[in-house]
């Protein structure tokens, strides 16, 4: 119940294409859903995040779509660029004992071909 | 630079040894999380501290321990090291002053790469 299931494990997209990464969850106590981008040898960096009372959030070429009833959310990268090649992690946060716990998906390795 | 500082960046040691990884959170952040990332694996939550107190434990081995000091920096101690402990160890910090704030998300450091030979 505390898991966040992420798919696909890896993704290859042509430059200019749309990259789509999906995540699903069970725990309705999750109250915030961030996406992190990680380049090789670096720490994950916050990319974009959404609250469950919002169905979509867009920041530049990155969009989160959120379906509360289906307990699913996805990251869309429009006009994908080679520089977007990285590993992407979805995450979910829930409050517990006056603090937060974060559950991460298993990651998606994205490769954008030039 | 995320504001979360981890040292050392790289560490090579032998099986059976003990190492200490250090993390300084972003200025003002009270909470520190430790994660382990093995090769091509996801982020495994180890332990969380909030303002000096342990708040949550994940898949942390008994050979591992951590603490958060009064100045809020944290140390992760790994002992009786095994080959399988080779991994990237990340520290992340968060504010946790306002539970309703969207600002309460994790900021990660650059990690400490541990190689056990």
Token pair for A60: 């530049």
**Contact residues on chain B for A103, CB-CB shorter than 8 A:** 45
Q: For A18-69, write each residue's pLDDT tens digit.
A: 999 999 999 889 989 999 999 988 899 999 999 999 999 999 999 999 999 9
**Contact residues on chain B for A36, CB-CB shorter than 8 A:** 108
User: Is the C-alpha dihedral spanning A42, A46, A52, A57 positive or negative?
Assistant: negative
pLDDT at A97 over 70: yes
CA distances from B99 to A50, A110, B56, B73 (A): 15, 32, 16, 22
Residue B4 contacts by C-beta under 8 Å, 6 or more apart in sequence? A43, B23, B24, B25, B26, B29, B91, B92, B93, B107, B108, B109, B110
Give B48→chain A minimum CA distance, Å: 8
Q: In terms of CA atoms, which chain A residue is nearest residue B110?
A: A43
Q: For B59-89, write each residue's pLDDT tens digit.
A: 899 999 999 999 999 999 999 999 999 999 9
Tell if the CB–CB gap between A45 and B2 is shorter than 8 Å: yes
Q: Give the pLDDT band (50/70/90) at residue B11.
A: very high
């Amino acid at each position: 119940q505390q898991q966040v299931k992420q798919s696909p494990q890896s993704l290859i997209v042509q430059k200019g294409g749309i990259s789509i990464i999906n995540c699903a969850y069970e725990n309705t106590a999750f109250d915030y859903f961030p996406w992190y981008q990680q380049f090789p040898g670096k720490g994950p960096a916050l990319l974009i995040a959404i609250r469950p009372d919002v169905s979509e959030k867009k920041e530049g070429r990155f969009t989160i779509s959120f379906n509360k009833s289906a307990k699913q959310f996805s990251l869309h990268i429009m006009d994908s660029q080679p520089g977007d090649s990285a590993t992407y992690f979805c995450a979910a946060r829930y409050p517990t004992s006056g603090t937060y716990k974060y559950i991460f998906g298993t990651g998606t390795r994205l490769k954008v071909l030039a | 630079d995320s504001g979360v500082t981890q040292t050392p960046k790289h560490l090579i040691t032998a099986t059976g040894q003990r190492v200490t990884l250090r993390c300084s959170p972003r200025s003002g952040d009270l909470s520190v999380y430790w994660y382990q990332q093995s090769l091509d694996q996801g982020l495994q939550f180890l332990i969380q501290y909030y303002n000096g107190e342990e708040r949550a434990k994940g898949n942390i081995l008994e050979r591992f321990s951590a603490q958060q000091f009064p100045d809020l920096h944290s140390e992760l101690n790994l002992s009786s090291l095994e080959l399988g402990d080779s991994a990237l160890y990340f520290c992340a910090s968060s504010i946790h002053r306002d539970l309703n704030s969207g600002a309460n998300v994790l900021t990660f450091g650059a990690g400490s790469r541990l190689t056990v030979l």
